[in-house]
Amino acid sequence: MADKPVTGAGLRGQSAGTTALCTVGKTGSGLTYRGFDIKELAEKAKFEEVAYLLLKGKLPNQSELDHYIRKLKSLRGLPEALKTVLEQIPKDAHPMDVMRTGTSMLGNLETEESFDEQQDVADRLLAVLPSIICYWYRFSHDGVRIDTQTDDNSVGGHFLNMLRGEPASELHARVMNVSLILYAEHEFNASTFTARVCASTLSDMHSCVTGAIGSLRGPLHGGANEAAMAMIEDWQSPEEAESKIMGMLERKDKIMGFGHAIYRESDPRNEIIKHWSKKLADDVGDTVLYPVSEKVEEVMWREKKLFCNADFFHASAYYFMDIPTKLFTPIFVMSRLTGWAAHVFEQRANNRIIRPSADYIGPEKSEWVPIEARD
Ligand SMILES: CC(=O)SCCNC(=O)CCNC(=O)[C@H](O)C(C)(C)COP(=O)(O)OP(=O)(O)OC[C@H]1O[C@@H](n2cnc3c(N)ncnc32)[C@H](O)[C@@H]1OP(=O)(O)O
Ligand SMILES: O=C([O-])CC(=O)C(=O)O
């Protein structure tokens, strides 16, 4: 992508604070969490280890990790009042709205009374968000009230088990683990910045996370994985994909799953999720969606020098695992909760209310006109 002059629009290129959590695009394309390269984490870590790293500040040793997994497993249950609320939400609601309402309702039932409770509140949310979305989804779509306390050790395996009513295969659990690691943290992205702005007023964790979910929902941010799927799902061949993309580019449409506010050359998460999407394509014997996705990637680079961001190959990967498209962005929430909460901790530890200024472009002086005399 050609370099663009940095202007004030979208606060692009302006530092809005400090963080010890993450670097994005520091050497042109890299991503690190507390200094650890994303490629190494995606290959070697459990998502729960990455959550611990982000939330507690260091990698856990074996007994700390075992204890943490046991803790998360014990926190998966839903209060009855929250189940009642989830049962009222219609089947055609957007699952991101369900996540938002579920988090907000939990804030009424299990209010964070003091910042001393922040670690426990974050752990509870990490454990319970998959339960919220799956309980609502299975109740509204299948008419069943699921037990959200499965015996799966991993967050990803637990999610798939609740969704399907049976434990996930090793491959699917592995891909979910990688996906949750890739989505966990990304510096001052829009949803995290929302959480930090909310935290800067000394608000509670549930409010910060509820606001962040609202920001993540949009198609220019987390909603892009669903939007990318909606775009490619009906294309039957790479040739059709090429001609459709060329038409979209001619009309100056945004192509979802491409481009990035910070990365200029590539998004390091793409190569990783693309690898797993290919493995899943081979697993299900796909001959259409993966070649279509690869063609879109090739055409976008050839025509616009735009590269896939984290979202594009997530679409096909989730599709191959038979995950309904509208649950794609809620999975992002289940993971990014770790980054959001860790940023809230950081903001609280060194806080000043976030309140920028605006350049006024309205009228200099307006004359008051009585209501009867107005047009
Ligand atoms: C996990 C995540 O949240 S990753 C982001 C997910 N979002 C998407 O995939 C949505 C599609 N992508 C986009 O809308 C953008 O690339 C964003 C929102 C991610 C970044 O926006 P910006 O920082 O404003 O983009 P940037 O400054 O790099 O844009 C440069 C030019 O490329 C164009 N461009 C950028 N992305 C795209 C795209 N996906 N399709 C078509 N054109 C694009 C822009 O319109 C801009 O053109 P202009 O200078 O004529 O206005
Ligand atoms: O950093 C951003 O602007 C968006 C992004 O990729 C993320 O939040 O993962």
**Residue 259, both tokens:** 């481009």
Q: Is the dihedral of CA 290, 322, 94, 42 positive or negative?
A: negative
Give 221 Cα–ligand 2 centroid separation in angstroms: 7
Residue 60 Cβ inside 6 Å of ligand 1? The answer reads: no
Residues of the chain with pLDDT under 50: 1-2
Residue 186 Cβ inside 6 Å of ligand 2? The answer reads: yes
3-state SS class at 302: helix
Residue 342 Cβ inside 6 Å of ligand 1? The answer reads: no
Contact 139, 91 (CB under 8 A): no
Give the active site residue among 204, 311, 314, 343. 311
* Residue owning the nearest CA to atom 24 of ligand 1: 261
**Tell me, what's the pLDDT at 2?**
45
**Tell me, what's the pLDDT at 330?**
98
Contact 192, 343 (CB under 8 A): yes
CA max distance for the chain? 76
Q: What is the pLDDT of residues 331-351, one digit of tens each?
A: 999 999 999 999 999 999 999
**Tell me, what's the pLDDT at 353?**
98
Indicate the pTM of the whole model. 0.97
Residue 311 Cβ inside 6 Å of ligand 1? The answer reads: yes
Beta carbons within 10 angstroms of residue 44's beta carbon: 10
Give the active site residue among 94, 97, 221, 275. 221
Measuring CA to CA, which residue among 323, 193, 360 is closest to residue 261? 193
ipTM: 0.98
| 204 classed as catalytic | no
- Please report how the helices 205-216 and 190-200 are oriented relative to each other, as an axis angle in degrees rounded to 10: 150
| 311 classed as catalytic | yes
